[in-house]
Amino acid sequence: GAGVSQSPSNKVTEKGKDVELRCDPISGHTALYWYRQRLGQGLEFLIYFQGNSAPDKSGLPSDRFSAERTGESVSTLTIQRTQQEDSAVYLCASSSGQALWEQYFGPGTRLTVT
């Protein structure tokens, strides 16, 4: 089946604008994760959705960041009033209820804030 998909693949925006990043997880995967990867650095956990439970938002760096998920499908990560330090690759991953630890990653969205 199809893997995790993300759109857009690249996004260039001006400082102060809002952006929305989209993630389509693997069908049937109940868990969905967002990560941020700054240039030359590891992955930084942002937020985690698991089924109908309240999401784990502990990794969101500021209140400019928010994310939603519709049921067990699409998720959007929204960054308001973007800053240059938000420039990074944003990765989405999903996993199934039977193997929560085996995360399947999408190709990422490269965000550049000018």
Give 10 or 73: the residue with its C-beta nearer to another protein: 10
Query: CA–CA separation, 80 vs 47, rounded Å?
Result: 16
42 binds another protein (CB under 8 A): yes
Question: Which of these, 51, 46, 39, lies nearest to 65 by C-alpha position?
Answer: 46
Q: Which of 79, 108, 109, 113 binds another protein (CB under 8 A)?
A: 108
107 binds another protein (CB under 8 A): yes
- What DSSP designation does 26 have? P
* 24: three-class secondary structure by DSSP: strand
Stretch that binds another protein, among 22-30, 48-56, 61-69, 80-88 (CB under 8 A): 48-56
Pull the structure tokens for residue 73: 């499908």
Residues that bind another protein (CB under 8 A): 3-4, 31, 33, 35, 41-45, 48, 50, 56, 58-59, 91, 93, 100-108
